[in-house]
Amino acid sequence: MEQVCFGIDIGGTAVKVGLFDTEGTLLNKWDFATKKTGNGKDILKDSAEFIKEKIKELQLKSENIIGVGVGIPGPVQDNGDVLELANLGLGHFNIEEEMNSLTGLKVKAINDANAAALGEYWMGGGKGYRNVVLATLGTGVGGGIIINGHILVGSKGAAGEIGHLALNEEETLSCGCGKKGCLEQYASATGIVRIAKGILNETTEASTLREKGELSAKAIFDCAKDGDKLALEAVEKACYYLGLALAHVAQVIDPEAFVIGGGVSKAGDILIETTKKYYNSFVMDALKNREFKLATLGNDAGIYGAAKQILA
């Protein structure tokens, strides 16, 4: 029987579980609701029970299970230590030891943004490159960095936090992190909406955006694709900051490719091309014209990356 492994992606609302072979084929996937009550560690117990059930159901033999990769929404140190997962009500603990004692399997933990990056590197938009940066544009902006095929964790688990690159000293509004002018304030779904609202408030100029009711990032990109001038302005501004941020990343680590994921990336070519334009204007010649790709794994990127973490 072939060797397999599990990739788990623990989120605030759902826990996703994938079963993979060593080549990266997703053999099966499931999910269940994240338990919000009781000690946050119930989430680990639930996940362990769930896996043990699936192992029984699928009649997997322990010698064929390489292990379990677990992605969690917070910084994970190299040794599996998690200092705090405020979202899930968890204090300092070692997630690898905890899950290992619950399942009897080898366990490797990884931060969820890093898991998404590793997943896209392994089987998604970053496939074929050894040095890749994933920028995930969702409610916030996350990042993950792959160097020579390995995720860059950083000395305290905070590498790849590109959403909080300080890009605009003139910004007056505060980011969720407490600073002002972070990438996340411009290139997240909410950031793009904020930019568009600001542009609409500054002028009485006609715009199809004014007919949209509650604005969304999707509506803004759609209007921009249809040539709406103010929507295009909003897209230019968001991509200006994304291009600048990725230029900073390039000057530091010199990657081969950037992969753009998250809900905002559904905008497609206009997002990629506009970001590339600004990126090229901000990097030195040796770093110009790197590859820009769209993420392809969607919400499964996390389970792919968690699985890859245990295989690596």
Burial class (CB in 10 A: 0-12, 13-18, 19+), 285: exposed
Which range binds its own copies by CB under 8 A, 13-21, 39-47, 155-163, 296-304? 155-163
Nearer to its own copies, 36 or 156 (CB): 156
Sequence-distant (6+) residues with CB within 8 A of 256 are 129, 130, 131, 132, 290, 291
How near is the Cβ of 158 to its own copies at its closest, in Å? Answer: 4
Alpha carbons 58 and 52: distance in angstroms, whole number: 10
Contact between 237 and its own copies by CB under 8 A: the answer reads no
Alpha carbons 103 and 29: distance in angstroms, whole number: 18
How near is the Cβ of 154 to its own copies at its closest, in Å? Answer: 3
Q: Are strands 107-111 and 65-72 parallel, antiparallel or unpaired?
A: parallel
Contact between 164 and its own copies by CB under 8 A: the answer reads yes
Which of 26, 60, 147, 294 is the binder for its own copies (CB under 8 A)?
147
Give the largest Cα separation in the chain, rounded. 68
How near is the Cβ of 261 to its own copies at its closest, in Å? Answer: 18
How near is the Cβ of 234 to its own copies at its closest, in Å? Answer: 18
Nearer to its own copies, 69 or 160 (CB): 160
CB 257 within 8 A of CB 290: yes
- Percentages helix, strand, coil for the chain (3-state, rounded to 5) are 45, 25, 35
How near is the Cβ of 97 to its own copies at its closest, in Å? Answer: 22
Which of 40, 67, 80, 160 is the binder for its own copies (CB under 8 A)?
160
Q: Which of residues 175-214 bind its own copies (CB under 8 A)?
A: 177-179
Helix axes 229-253, 269-282, angle to 10 degrees: 50
Contact between 62 and its own copies by CB under 8 A: the answer reads no
How near is the Cβ of 159 to its own copies at its closest, in Å? Answer: 4
DSSP designation for 241: H
* Footprint of its own copies (CB under 8 A): 75, 130-131, 145, 147, 152-162, 164-166, 177-179, 244, 247-249, 251-256, 281-287
